Amino acid sequence: MTDCRCQLQKNGEKDEEANVGLPVQPPNLSLQQPKKRKLVLHFDLNNTILVSDASTGQGPRAALNSYLSTVTWGQISETGEWTWLSDSVSVTAPCNNAVNYFTQFGRNTQFTDSTMGKRFKEIFNCHMQMLEWQGEANTTFTQKEEDGTVYHWILPSFFHLLESLYEQGREFSVILRTFGVDLPLVLPAIHSALMGGHPYFPQLSKVPLKVDLTPGKIRCSAREVVMTWGSDRISTKEKKESIYEYFNTITGIGGIQDHFDWWARNHFSGDGGKPFWIEPNDRDVHHIFIDDNIRLNEDDTIVNCQVFNNPQHRSKSRKVSTSELYDICLVQNDLLRAIAEKDYFLDCIRVCEENYDRYVANFPLQPTHESQM
């Protein structure tokens, strides 16, 4: 079980475990390794970098309880009785016949206070403790529960990721992808942090990332995907790779509201999920999507991933299963680790990059139209 002694400190104070808010040093270009691919990081919000949900009105306690109901596993016996398979939590099923509590009984915002869920109360309490904000409440970066306890709103591990990638000299952009309504609040908060306004991460002011405060929107149909972002309108109808290429050019941080109704109309399966494209022959860019609802069950996952088969004919793509790109371009977010481990997102990216190198090796590099001109 995670050690609850890991306490987040402010203004650069730290213990040996938390170690957040370290000064960010400008990257030393002379010491850099050979240039790595640009990272285009697609992040979900709720239960990924936020422990709350504005659309449902859930605060951190309700959100964490709901999340725990999706990562605790049991099975129904022949007599119809529920039996827990483990007192541990896991984002993936521990065995073939395992069912998570949420699938069997529905989401429960008081899960660990219930008779069935009380065995996970210690895990809940430990992670709520880690979420507590130390010091005076901040209207931009904190959220308060009914009992007056103040918690982090955006996870510190996300801000640590931004610091660390800059410190490493990486080229990267971040696209927040959500079905919800949090973007108009989240984007200004991240902008404030990058202006030096976060008490835990004052050195973020040295990270030269711009934040687009105007969210974009994606709408899907059987014929096309249309993205509108500011004055731009991009459609896959005439050019299937158009949104992929647009994503490649993004710098800084922005956000998109994806098409929830389309996901619902497709029975919450991957077919109606957030559209996401991969081009294995594009050796300059690596797209990674991190979302707690990415699952290995294609009937219950949230990203519709397409892989372009040929750089000379990107109009042709194939839909791929989550398993083909799991921990390569698709990461099922482990919220408990994102709360407890400051390097969690960095570790996810490191694993994906290692696996992506092996994945693209299966695609012999082919000349693109541009290289033939």
Q: Which residues contact 114 (CB under 8 A, 6 or more apart)?
A: 108
What percentage of the chain has pLDDT greater than the value 70? 87
Asked if the model's pLDDT at residue 235 lies above 50, the reply is yes
Higher pLDDT, 187 or 316: 187
**pLDDT surpasses 90 at 25:** no
- Predicted TM-score (pTM) of the model is 0.89
Residue 38: which of 214, 228, 189, 175 has the closest Cα?
Answer: 175
Distance CA 311, CA 316 (A): 9
Please report the pLDDT score of residue 309 as a whole number.
75
Each residue's pLDDT tens digit, 47-81: 999 999 888 889 999 999 999 999 999 999 888 89
pLDDT at 272 > cutoff 80: yes
Ramachandran angles phi, psi of 232, nearest 5°: -90, 140
Q: What are phi and psi of 63, to 5 degrees?
A: -65, -45
Angle at 331 between CA 2 and CA 216, to 5 degrees: 120
Q: Which two tokens stand for residue 37?
A: 């691919």
Contacts 24+ apart (CB under 8 A), 244-250: 244/277, 244/279, 244/308, 244/314, 247/40, 247/175, 247/277, 247/287, 248/38, 248/40, 248/282, 248/285, 250/40, 250/173, 250/175
Question: Which residues lie closer than 8 Å to 284 by C-beta, 6 or more apart?
Answer: 37, 38
Please give the angle made by the CA atoms of 229, 235 and 240, to the nearest 5 degrees: 130
* End-to-end Cα spacing for the chain: 58
Angle 115-119-122 from CA coordinates, rounded to 5°:
125
Least confident among 10-14, 126-130, 140-144: 10-14
Q: What type of residue sits at position 106? A: G
For the residues of 248-271, what is the DSSP string, one character each? Answer: HH--EEEEEE--HHHHHHTTTSGG
Question: SS3 for 3?
Answer: coil
Q: What is the mean pLDDT of residues 12-30?
A: 45
Q: 324-342: per-residue pLDDT in tens?
A: 999 999 999 999 999 999 9
Nearest CA to 240 out of 313, 190, 319 is that of 313
Give the model's pLDDT for residue 11: 44
Whether the predicted pLDDT of 122 surpasses 50: yes
- Decide the pairing of beta strands 317-319 and 150-152: unpaired
* Long-range contact set of residues 108-111: C-beta below 8 Å, sequence gap at least 24: 108/65, 108/66, 108/69, 109/58, 109/61, 109/62, 109/63, 109/65, 109/66, 110/62, 110/65, 111/65, 111/66, 111/68, 111/69
Amino acid sitting at position 7: Q
Does 306 score more than 70 pLDDT?
yes
